[in-house]
Structure formats: C-alpha cells, structure tokens
C-alpha cells in the first residue's frame, strides 16, 4: 500500500476521524480477504497545524491577504511529500476552497473531497446533494463548483436554517449528541421536501455531523427515514484508501 | 510551543489517545490562561507504522534478530526529526523496551514513558506501582528497570492474573466497557492488598485500560475506592507538553 499523508489539526477532532476511518477501512478490507492479524494499515504521516494560527491568518478578498495562510499550508504539505507520502488528503472541508493554490508545487496528488464526493455521486446515481457544513462551507461557492464538473447539483440550506446547522455542529463538538439526528432530519426536510424529486442525498459535509447518527467509520452512506446521507469524511478516506491500493 | 513528533500506529487507537490527550492538555492550558479561541495546540507530526509489519518482524534473544524491526522504527523517527519535530514520543509502551537502540542516532530527545512515570511518582510521593499492561510489558523487566532509577518500585500482577488483564484489554479494544472497572479493581486488590502499605498506585500502563474508568484525557491521575490510578498515556503526553513549552 502507498503511504498516505494527512494535513490535519484544523481541527484536531476531524483529523482523528480521518485517521480512524482510513485505518478501519484498511482493516475491514484485509479482514474480508482473510488476512491474518494484526490487520494491515497503510503507513500514514500526519502534519497537524495549530488552528489558532490558521484562523488568525485567514485572508479576505484582497490580493495577497492569504499569503501567510497559504505558506503555512504549503510548508506542511511539502513536509508530507518529503517524508514519503505518495498521496495526500486535507482532513477538513473548509481549506479545500484554496486547495489549488496550496498544492500547486507538489509532485504527489492531493485528493480533493469535492472530487471524492462528485465521483461517489456519479457511481451511486445521485444527482442532487444538500450540503450541510460549517458556515464558511455553506457561504462559499467552492463546494458547488467542485462537484458540478461531475454533473452533480449541490446546494445549501436556506440562510435562515444555516445557523441551526452551525449550532448542531457546536453541540456535537461538545459531545452533546442526544436528539440531534432529529434536528438534522428536520433541516433536511425543510430545505428539500422529498415528494416527487429525483435521486437526492444529504451530504454531511463536516466531520462532526455524522456523529449525530452515531455513524460507522467505514460506511460512506446510510439511510434514515427515506433520506440518503453521505458521510463526507468516509467518502474522502475511501478515495484515499482506494488510491493507496493502486 | 515546540513541534512534537509522535511515532504511532502500534496500534492506531493508542496513537489517537496520545494525539487527543496532547491537544486537550494544550487547550486546557491556554483556556486557564484566558487565551482567545480557537485555543492553540502545538504543531504535531505523526508517523504511523503498519502494525502488521512490526509484529511480524519482532526479534528474539538472538543477535541481529531485531535488525529489520529496529530499522523500521529508526527510519520513522528520523522522518519526524527531518520534518522539524523538536521532541518525540513513541505512542505505545511496548516498543519502549528498545528505545535506546532505535533513538541513538537522533539529535532531538525522545521522551521515555518510563522517565515520565518515574518523575511523576517522585513528585507525587508514590513509592510502589503495580503495572497493568499488555503481556510483553508484564513479562519484560524493562518497565521495572526504567522507573527504578527514580527510586520507584514497580511490579506486575502474579502470572495467574496477567491473562485476566489481557482479556480486559481485549474487551476494551472491542468497545465492551461495561463492568470492566470492577474487573480491574479486583485484579489490583488481589495483586496488592492495601492494608498497612505505603504510598501505592496502580499504573494503567496500556492505552486501553483507562477507558474502563471512562477517564478524562487531561487527568494524569484519579482515585477510586481508595486506590490511586495513574493514566500512563496522559502522564507521557503531559511530559511532552511541558517539554514543548520550555
């Protein structure tokens, strides 16, 4: 298996979900093939950044305003490549908006979460996805553009419901899980009434959200009350695991 | 804060506990000092090995039998140093038995878990520790020798009870937690009747064991039914965080 690099720390709980997900996917894969224990995992390098520094160095629309932020990410990606990573993931949706800039000097591929989700939708016959995520995710066009090249139509909850999504993520971050699956379901229902629509899924586009459903770290998709939910962390991790087998 | 390197993957759940522990300790530290959010964490690099390879390349008593294993660990430690880690932890008790060999060419310090626990016992006035851990830990003299230079007397449960410790660890690894705190307490009581003894602690010398008590990832020590328990992962992580502040 190829060595996987993970750019993490933004935030660190999300890095844990990615690492756990890749290791669990690998162990399930080798267990199904009758491999002896301990079940193999790929070698994985992680560069975990200081989120206090990244948040305080976010840019604006002004030219050069992202320079410090970009350089911080570029250096960490370079370290992963120098340490032998053969493919890299950024373990967070939000920095993907600047993925092209920060990865342009690398020789090894950085697998985009937009590509992973776009490809997954194509192979699953899903045309429309409602993306639930952090406020930077739901107020940027990056996710929508990222999956549109696969013919997938992504959209966000209406502005009035976005703050509800954010407060659910906040609760999950502090381990208050009870009843939040129903809150997510209600937002989905209000954002996209299901009657008479085509193939649709709600994309949990932030690492905390699947924990509301106590989701399994190896399952890219699950269904509840007729709604298909995509676990973006698992879909992204699966794309890395498949690439590391090639 | 200095950059911390973690040698992990043996096994990966243990690596998660170390990473979570260091990040949580850092956030608590800065929160107590009134720092603004997001609370800072040190930069952390992780090299996660394939445990299938490490276990299948364990040596014996024969000369050179550990060569492949040693080289695998040495290369990963070197990558952490090359990537800018200023201090390193091995996120597992068992490989500490070969720590001197694998770390001898490094310029940066590798903080031993034996030193961290020995120093913690000295500063807490604990003279005797019962070490509960994996079978390789409880059948090697390395832990006992490692803390003896701090004047700490370490010992293991009697052979007849060691298999009980191992089966508890196995249960915890598979997330079967209920009632296991009582099982650990029973082993401690049978291994070391408390009446009339000096300052004593039970050292949970394996990352899974504290989860039996649903231990908090920032607390190095807790007490239950008059027994002091040491959380070796937190003590090791705390020693790294203190060193990264210096």
A156-191 pLDDT per residue, tens: 999 999 999 999 998 887 778 889 999 999 999 999
ipTM: 0.94
Ramachandran bin of B2, using left for φ above 0, alpha for ψ from -120 to 50, beta for the remaining angles: beta
Q: State the pLDDT confidence band at A195, using cuts at 50, 70 and 90.
A: low
pLDDT > 70? residue B231: yes
Contact B16 A20 (CB under 8 A): yes
Contact B19 A23 (CB under 8 A): no
The mean of the pLDDT values for chain B is 93
User: pTM of the entire structure?
Assistant: 0.94
Contact B9 A79 (CB under 8 A): no
> CB of A73 within 8 A of CB of A7?
yes
Taking CA–CA distances from B48, the nearest residue in chain A reads A44
Pairing of strands B44-48, A44-48: antiparallel
How many Å apart are CA A115 and CA A147, to the nearest integer?
6
pLDDT > 60? residue A147: yes
Please report, for chain A, how many H helices and E strands are present, in that order: 10, 8
Q: What is the pLDDT of residues B42-54, one digit of tens each?
A: 999 999 999 999 9
Q: State the pLDDT confidence band at B216, using cuts at 50, 70 and 90.
A: confident
Q: Give the per-residue pLDDT at B105.
A: 95
Smallest CA-to-CA distance from B210 within B45, B123, B93 is with B93
Q: State the pLDDT confidence band at B35, using cuts at 50, 70 and 90.
A: very high
Q: What is the pLDDT of residues B177-210, one digit of tens each?
A: 889 999 999 999 999 866 556 689 999 999 889 9
Q: Give the per-residue pLDDT at A176.
A: 83
CA atoms within 13 A on the CB side of A143: 27
In angstroms, what separates the C-alpha of A205 from chain B's closest C-alpha?
21
Q: Give the per-residue pLDDT at B218.
A: 83
> CB of B86 within 8 A of CB of B114?
no
Q: Give the per-residue pLDDT at A131.
A: 96
Percentages helix, strand, coil for chain A (3-state, rounded to 5) are: 50, 15, 35
Contact A84 B79 (CB under 8 A): yes
Of B1, B12, B40, the CB nearest to A23: B12
Backbone angles phi and psi of B61, in degrees to 5: -80, -15
Q: Give the per-residue pLDDT at B101.
A: 94
Q: Give the per-residue pLDDT at A196.
A: 56
In chain A, the N- to C-terminal Cα span, in Å, equals: 8
pLDDT > 70? residue A198: no
pLDDT > 80? residue B220: yes
Contacts B18 to A, Cβ<8 Å: none
Tokens 């995520």 map to which residue? A133
Least confident interval from A31-35, A63-67, A193-197, B141-145: A193-197
Taking CA–CA distances from A6, the nearest residue in chain B reads B46
Q: Give the per-residue pLDDT at B194.
A: 62
Contact A46 B49 (CB under 8 A): no
Taking CA–CA distances from B6, the nearest residue in chain A reads A46
**Can you list the alpha helix ranges (DSSP code H) found in B139-212?**
142-148, 159-173, 180-191
Contacts B16 to A, Cβ<8 Å: 16, 19-20
Contact A83 B83 (CB under 8 A): yes
How many Å apart are CA A188 and CA A131, to the nearest integer?
10
Q: In what order do the strands lie in the sheet with A128-132?
A: A153-155, A128-132, A200-204, A227-231, A221-224
pLDDT > 60? residue B213: yes
Smallest CA-to-CA distance from A187 within A166, A161, A215 is with A161
């Amino acid at each position: 298996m190829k060595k996987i690099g993970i750019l993490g720390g933004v935030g660190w709980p999300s890095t844990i979900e990615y690492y756990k997900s890749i290791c669990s996917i690998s162990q399930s894969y080798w267990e199904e093939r009758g491999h002896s224990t301990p079940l193999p995992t790929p070698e994985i390098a992680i560069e975990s950044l200081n989120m206090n520094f990244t948040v305080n160095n976010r840019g604006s629309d002004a030219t050069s305003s992202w320079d410090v932020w970009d350089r911080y990410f570029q250096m960490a990606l370079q370290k992963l490549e120098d340490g032998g990573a053969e493919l890299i993931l950024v373990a967070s949706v939000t920095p993907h908006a600047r993925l092209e800039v920060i990865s342009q000097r690398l020789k090894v591929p950085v697998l985009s979460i937009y590509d992973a989700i776009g490809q997954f939708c194509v192979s699953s016959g899903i045309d429309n996805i409602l993306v639930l995520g952090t406020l930077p995710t739901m107020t940027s066009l990056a996710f929508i553009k990222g999956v549109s090249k696969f013919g997938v139509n992504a959209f966000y909850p209406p502005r009035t419901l976005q703050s509800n999504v954010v407060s659910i993520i906040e609760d999950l971050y502090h381990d208050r899980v009870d009843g939040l699956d129903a809150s997510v379901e209600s937002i989905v229902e209000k954002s996209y009434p299901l009657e008479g629509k085509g193939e649709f899924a709600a994309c949990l586009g932030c690492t905390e959200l699947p924990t509301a459903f106590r989701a399994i770290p190896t399952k890219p998709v699950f269904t509840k009350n007729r709604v298909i939910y995509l676990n973006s962390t698992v879909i992204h991790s699966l794309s890395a695991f498949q690439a590391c087998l090639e």
